[in-house]
């Protein structure tokens, strides 16, 4: 049986932008937040801006409407173009760069806030480990669902139940996408992983992590122990995965990858890496180059 062709992402981006054009803020020319309705707002910038430790109270689905956006978690980043859809995790500090379009002189993104999950989707989502791939691949169904949800949420004073239904349709399409995991209920291990990915070279302690999560250090250890996991291992796995992504992408040498994730000793890093993946880090870098 032949594999169906991948959807044309450029055409789907253009189609999504056309659907969302009524919500664009090009006529206002005002920087900042523009509220369109409950759970729906756009953000505009008229000059390149760099936001350090940007945070949303709840996770959100974002669509770049004009200009481009860079989102960074530590040394890992992604660049997003008009029509591309991304997930912004809630309660997580990220560094953001918003760059206006050269011709229009405007950066704009539309965000659908996911403040609560429908009961039918509670606990849904992929089991894939959290990472820093926040860009969502487009499909025709997702483009249609996002368009319907945004337009309906903007008029939710008159159709609140329908707006919730439209947002649930979007989430149903996203539940098996690894990049969408932050939209669904994330456990403590996921939250620790995202925290470490945001500052992989930081000397994380149990007390500091627990304080950021709003629990006691002993409580945190007990909860992980009940799951048969350890905080130290979760931190180490997050660092190793980020290092492997850097090496596979060709972003630096083995020494630079070790330093980026907090290892002063290259040999210690290499030992940890081989224990995690069965090959030395140099093999991952060679594989990326080939």
Q: Please give the helix or strand (H or E) that residue 107 lies within, else none.
A: strand 107-113
Residue bearing the bigger pLDDT, 85 or 289: 85
Q: What is the pLDDT of residues 255-282, one digit of tens each?
A: 999 998 999 999 999 999 999 999 999 8
Examine the pLDDT at 25 and tell me if it is beyond 90.
no
Q: Above pLDDT 90, what percent of the chain?
A: 39
Instruction: List all residues 6 or more positions away from 239 whose beta carbon is below 8 Å from its beta carbon.
Output: 196, 200, 261, 262, 263
Q: How far apart are CA 99 and CA 48, in angstroms?
A: 5
Distance, CA of 220 to chain centre? 24
Which phi and psi (to 5°) does residue 45 adopt? Answer: -140, 140
**Rounded-to-integer distance, Cα 141 and Cα 273, Å:** 40
Task: Provide φ and ψ at 64, rounded to 5°.
Answer: -75, 125
| pLDDT at position 154 | 82
Cα(67)–Cα(79) distance, integer angstroms: 11
The DSSP-derived string for 11-77 is: HHHHHHHHHHGGG--TTT---EEEEEETTEEEEEESS-EEEEEE-BSS-EEEEEEESEEEEEETTEE
- Indicate the pairing of strand 85-88 with strand 60-66: antiparallel
**What is 188-289's CATH number?**
1.10.10.60
Question: Do the Cβ atoms of 81 and 34 come closer than 8 Å?
Answer: no
Distance of CA 114 to the CA centre of its chain: 13
| pTM flag (> 0.75) | no
> Using 50, 70 and 90 to split pLDDT, how confident is the model at 55?
confident
Computed over every residue of the chain, the mean pLDDT equals 84
Is the pLDDT assigned to residue 1 strictly greater than 60? no
Between vectors from CA 208 to CA 254 and to CA 185, what angle results, nearest 5°? 85
pLDDT tier at 185, thresholds 50, 70, 90:
low
Closest CA to 154 of 14, 29, 19: 19
Domain boundaries defined on the chain? 9-183, 188-289
Q: What is the mean pLDDT of residues 111-125?
A: 74
Per-residue model confidence (pLDDT) at position 290: 35
Q: How confident is the model at residue 64 (pLDDT cuts 50, 70, 90)?
A: very high
Reported as a pLDDT band with limits 50, 70 and 90, residue 252 is: confident
pLDDT computed for residue 119 by the predictor: 63
Q: Which of 67-76, 79-88, 118-127, 174-183 has the highest mean pLDDT?
A: 79-88
**Residue 211 pLDDT greater than 90, yes or no:** no
Cα–Cα nearest to 235, from 269, 195, 263, 267: 195
Q: Which helix (H) or strand (E) holds 135?
A: strand 135-136
Distances (CA, A) of 107 to 65, 113, 149, 203, 219: 7, 19, 22, 36, 44
Give the separation between CA 82 and CA 230, rounded to whole angstroms: 41
Q: Comparing C-alpha atoms, which of 93, 91, 45, 95 is closest to residue 70? A: 95
Residue that is written with structure tokens 């704009």 in the block: 108
pLDDT band with cut points at 50, 70 and 90 for residue 288: very low
Distance CA 141, CA 152 (A): 16
CATH of domain 9-183: 2.60.120.10
pLDDT exceeds 60 at position 287: no
């Amino acid at each position: 049986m032949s594999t169906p062709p991948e959807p044309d992402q450029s055409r789907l981006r253009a189609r999504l932008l056309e659907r969302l054009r009524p919500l664009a803020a090009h006529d206002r020319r005002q920087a900042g937040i523009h509220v369109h309705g409950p759970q729906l707002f756009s953000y505009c910038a008229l000059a390149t801006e760099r936001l350090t430790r940007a945070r949303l109270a709840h996770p959100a689905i974002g669509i770049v409407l004009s200009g481009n956006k860079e989102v960074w978690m530590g040394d890992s980043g992604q660049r997003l173009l008009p029509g591309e859809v991304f997930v912004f995790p809630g309660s997580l500090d990220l560094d953001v760069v918003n760059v206006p379009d050269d011709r229009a002189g405007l950066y704009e993104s539309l965000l659908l806030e996911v403040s609560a999950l429908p009961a039918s989707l509670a606990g849904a989502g992929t089991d894939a480990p959290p990472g820093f791939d926040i860009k969502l691949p487009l499909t025709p169904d997702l483009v249609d669902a996002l368009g319907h949800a945004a337009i309906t949420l903007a008029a939710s004073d008159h159709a609140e139940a329908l707006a919730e239904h439209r947002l649930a349709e979007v989430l149903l399409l996203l539940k098996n996408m690894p990049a969408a995991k932050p939209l669904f209920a994330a456990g403590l291990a996921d939250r620790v992983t995202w925290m470490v990915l945001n500052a992989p070279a930081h000397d994380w302690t149990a007390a500091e992590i627990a304080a950021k999560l709003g629990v006691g250090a002993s409580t945190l250890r007990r909860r992980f122990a009940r799951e048969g996991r350890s905080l130290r291992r979760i931190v180490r796995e997050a660092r190793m995965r980020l290092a492997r992504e850097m090496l596979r992408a060709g972003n630096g040498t083995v020494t630079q990858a070790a330093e980026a994730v907090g290892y002063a000793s290259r040999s210690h890093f290499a030992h940890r890496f081989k224990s995690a993946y069965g090959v030395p880090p140099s093999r991952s870098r060679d594989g990326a180059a080939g």
